[in-house]
Amino acid sequence: MIADEELIRRVQAGDAAAFDALVDRYYGACLRFAWRSLGQREDAEDAVQEALVRVYRALRRGRSPRHFRPWLLGIVLNRCRSHVQRARRRRLLFERWWARQDPETLRVQPADGAGADGDLDPKLKTALAALRPKLREAFLLKYVEQLHYEEMAEITGASVSALKMRVKRASDQVLAMLTEDTA
């Protein structure tokens, strides 16, 4: 097995296969660490990918870490922290946006007059349609039906913690889609 230091020298010399070897060697450990830190595989994969891009760029710029594995895991940890902060900011932005909405402005009356409540705002409806079904149902139960998580758990059979994560992910995705339209 080639030592990390030798692979780093090769990466710095432009050998992409050497970086692939480092990734093969440490990807599993990075993913496990990120997954345990973030609690969701998709989030963990994103954090690890971001970290690997940063590692590659740093190595290509000539950075030579004394001990590669701890340095790499430190970068993964920072990406996990950044991911949590971004998600928290997005969730807060969404919650502020949602709180400012007048329920009547989010609804439009169907053309045929059917349905006492009407339908959701078309932009919100489009954003919700793009969500995975479990995320969509959690979002609707929380924000449209205004249920408590315990009630949602009773309805869906999912745990409260799973529902909180679904609502968070759905909120992040809906906000991203709604702010894309305005940008």
Q: What is the CATH number of the domain that holds 95?
A: 1.10.1740.10
Q: Are residue 110 and residue 128 in the same domain, yes or no?
A: no
| pLDDT mean across residues, the chain | 84
13 and 96 belong to one structural domain? yes
Pairing of strands 107-108, 119-120: antiparallel
User: What's the pTM?
Assistant: 0.57
Please tell me the total number of residues recorded for the chain in this structure.
183
Residue 81 and residue 8 in one domain: yes
The answer on 79 and 43 residing in a single domain is: yes
DSSP string across 21-34: HHHHHHHHHHHHHH
Angstrom CA distances, 125 to 88, 143, 177, stand at 23, 13, 11
Nearest one of 67, 38, 36, 71 to 52, comparing CA atoms: 71
- Residue 107: phi and psi, rounded to 5, are -115, 145
Give the mean model confidence (pLDDT) for residues 57-80: 93
Residues 139 and 167 reside in one and the same domain: yes
* Per-residue pLDDT tens over the stretch 106-165: 544 444 444 444 456 777 878 888 888 889 889 888 887 788 899 888 888 889 999 999
User: In the listed set 116, 148, 165, which residue is the last one of a domain according to the structure?
Assistant: 116
In sequence order, the 6+-apart residues with CB closer than 8 A to the CB of 110 are 118, 119
Last residue of a domain, one of 89, 116, 143: 116
The whole-angstrom separation of Cα 35 and Cα 15 is: 29
Q: Looking at the structure, tell me whether residues 65 and 152 fall in a common domain.
A: no
- pLDDT range class, residue 102, cuts 50, 70, 90: low
By C-alpha distance, which of 141, 137, 130, 133 is closest to 174?
Answer: 130
Instruction: Please tell me whether residues 2 and 92 are part of one structural domain.
Output: yes
> How is residue 121 written in tokens?
């705002």
Round to whole Å and give the CA distance between 173 and 168.
Answer: 9
pLDDT in tens, 4-28: 999 999 999 999 999 999 999 999 9
Q: Residues 96, 137: one domain? A: no
**Considering its fold, how many domains does the chain have in total?**
2
Comparing CA positions, the residue from 105, 115, 116, 160 lying closest to residue 138 is: 160
Domain C-terminal end among 97, 116, 135: 116
Q: What's the whole-number mean pLDDT along residues 52-61? A: 96
Structural domain harbouring 150: 120-183
Residue 57 has pLDDT above 50, yes or no: yes
Considering the domain architecture, whether residues 53 and 128 belong to the same structural domain is answered as no
Can you give the CATH number for the domain in which 128 is found? 1.10.10.10
Q: Are residues 103 and 167 in the same domain?
A: no
* Pair (145, 60) in one structural domain: no
Same domain, 105 and 127: no
